[in-house]
Amino acid sequence: MVAFHDARVLDPAWPANAPQHTTGVWAAIEANHRSNVLLWDAEDQARRIDVPDASIAAQKRAIDRYNQVRNDAVELIDAALLERIADVVPRPDAWHQSETAGAMIDRLSILSLKIHHMGLAAARPAAPAQQRALRLAKAGTLAAQRADLARCFDTLLAKAAAGEAFWRIYRQHKMYNDPALNPYLSREVSGRVAPSNGDSPAATADG
C-alpha cells in the first residue's frame, strides 16, 4: 500500500493518465488516492490571493467534488475487503475496530502526500538552512507515523481474517452535496426559502 501510494505521487503523468486499476478493491484504492492528490492541489489553489474570487469559488466546488469521490471510495474499499472475509465469523471476544480499513488506507494516502510535499519544501534552495532542517525533521516524524499506521493496518487485516477483530462499513451520508438535503441547494431547485444559518443543522455540523 505504501509503495503504491508513493509511486503514484512520484509519477508526473498521474493522476491525469487513465487509472491503472478499473475493478476490485485496487480500483477503489486508486480512486481514493487520486482524489486526495487532486484535493491537495485544490486546497492549495483555494488559498491564493492573486486570482479573482471566481477562481477561488471554482476551487472550493472542486474540493467538494473530490471529497465526495474520496469518501465514496473509502466505503467501496471497506465493502471489497469485507467481501473477501465474508465467510469468517468473528469470535465472541473479537476486537471491534472503530476506524475502518478503508479509513486507514485514506490516512495512509494523505500521509504519503504530506511526506512528499514536506520533502519538496525541505529541498527548496531558497529556504534557510534552519527551515530545511526543520522540514526534514517533520518529514521524518510523518514517516514514523505512517509506519505505525501501516503496521496497525496489517494487523487489522490479519486479525480480521482470523476472526480476532472486525470492522463495519460506516456510511458518511454527506448532505452538503445533495440538493434534496442541503437547504440552500434545495432552495435553488424549488424556490423555497432556506433557514437562516442559526436554524440550519448544516451550518454547524459536518454534512
Rounded Cα distance between 60 and 54, Å, is 10
Q: C-alpha grid cell for residue 142? A: 510523518
Query: Strand (E) positions, 30-126?
Result: 95-96
DSSP secondary structure, 22-40, as one string = -SHHHHHHHHHHHHHHHHH
In single-letter form, the type of residue at position 71 comes to N
Rounded Cα distance between 115 and 72, Å, is 24
DSSP secondary structure, 48-64, as one string = -SSS-HHHHHHHHHHHH
Residue 112 in contact with residue 150, Cβ under 8 Å?
no
- Nearest to 165, CA basis, from 62, 117, 94: 94
Residue 1 in contact with residue 29, Cβ under 8 Å?
yes
pTM of the model: 0.86
Instruction: Tell me the pLDDT of the chain (207 aa) as tens digits.
Output: 999 999 999 998 888 888 889 899 999 999 999 999 999 999 999 999 999 999 999 999 999 999 999 999 999 999 999 999 999 999 999 999 999 999 999 999 999 999 999 999 999 999 999 999 999 999 999 999 999 999 999 999 999 999 999 999 988 887 877 878 788 777 755 555 555 544 444 444 444
